[in-house]
Amino acid sequence: MNAAQHVTTLGQSLWLDNLSRSLLRDGTLEKMIAESGVSGVTSNPSIFQNALATSPYYADDLARLKAGEPDVERRYEALVIPDIQAACDLLLPTYEASGGNDGYVSLEVAPRWAYDAARTVEEAQRLSAAVDRRNLLVKVPGTPEGVRAFEALTVLGININVTLLFSTAQVKAVFDAYLRGLAARAAAGADVRRSKAVASLFLSRVDTLVDTQLAAIGTDEALSLRGRAAVAMAKIAYRDYLQTFHGAPFAALAQQGATPQYLLWASTGVKNPAYPDLLYVEPLIGRETINTLPDKTLAALVDHGKAALTLETGADEAAAQLAALAHLGVSMDAVGERLQVDGVNSFEASFTKLLEQTA
């Protein structure tokens, strides 16, 4: 058993933060499922932009679509939805074996609707119907408008991956929306047992921004906190998760068979080469969580990772580190708000380039 497989025995799911037709047709994804413990897949506009630019398997379909489909966004969907469906089918045995708790593939609503709740709801329903797979998660952003859409979609029974979360405050807002959505769904007499949602908390981007602020402060105390903010934030978010979903707020829904909204660690490839390559993996292994890994980070985990339950340790130290950051004037809420705006803009730029590739 390699370290990645060992991690999954400890109660954490490992999802691949990548998808392309090459991964599917070359058997790479199937091998990762069999040998590296991969039990889900996440995608985003940047991932599909890279897929269309590098995989040789799209050219024929794109030429056909250019001849028959005038709308570039529909061309894009016609290219990538079959990949989503194929990945869902590949992971269906995982989904069924887990009782619907794992084995999901994520597809994102177009980023331009990030600040339009009604359109996000409409687009999520449309994409869900187009993919037509039980183990699909539609990705919506954790903007205030996206959170409102998420609540409405939960009432409707659409399973959601809330993405672009960068602070514990944003995570808490998403948890609260899930509770409200499930409660409304149950009150309407609908079944909540098949409802599934995850909350994707981005990590490496947090350290990149916080480290810049700490370097500008320049004191020994500030510099000693570099590279620690994201892991500390994740540990506190998990503490909030336990208090919410293993406490009074979720008790009545749990009795009706509802499942918690798992935290998903995203942006887990290190951006600072001075940091350990598993900085956002080894300290954050815990039950009822997901880590979505780029190919390189997954390979590092398989090669030299150490698997142990680490997520619930060091919460007091994490809280002290966040308090120290606040004392220095680093506002994690402000960091989260800025990074969320930047994240939406980045995904929208990737989506624009993606559509240009299909034009």
Cβ 199 vs Cβ 262: under 8 Å? yes
Cβ 164 vs Cβ 340: under 8 Å? yes
3-state secondary structure 70-133: CCHHHHHHHHHHHHHHHHHHHHHHHHHHCCCCCCCEEEECCHHHCCCHHHHHHHHHHHHHHHCC
> Has 139 been annotated as catalytic?
yes
SS3 percent helix, strand, coil of the chain, rounded to 5, is 60, 10, 30
Q: Please tell me whether residue 20 adopts helix, strand or coil conformation.
A: coil
CA distance 257 to 302: 35
Cβ 241 vs Cβ 356: under 8 Å? no
Q: Which of 139, 196, 235, 306 is catalytic?
A: 139
| Closest by CA position to 179, among listed 147, 201, 202 | 147
Query: Where is 145: in which H helix or E strand?
Result: helix 144-156
Query: Where is 202: in which H helix or E strand?
Result: strand 197-202
Q: What angle do CA 96, 307, 293 make, to 5 degrees?
A: 60
Q: How far is CA 298 from CA 17, 34, 287, in A?
A: 9, 14, 18
CA distance 344 to 338: 10
Q: Please tell me whether residue 268 adopts helix, strand or coil conformation.
A: coil
CA distance 23 to 27: 6
CA distance 44 to 139: 8
Q: How far is CA 312 from CA 201, 207, 238, 289, 300, in A?
A: 17, 20, 8, 12, 23
Residues with active-site annotation: 139
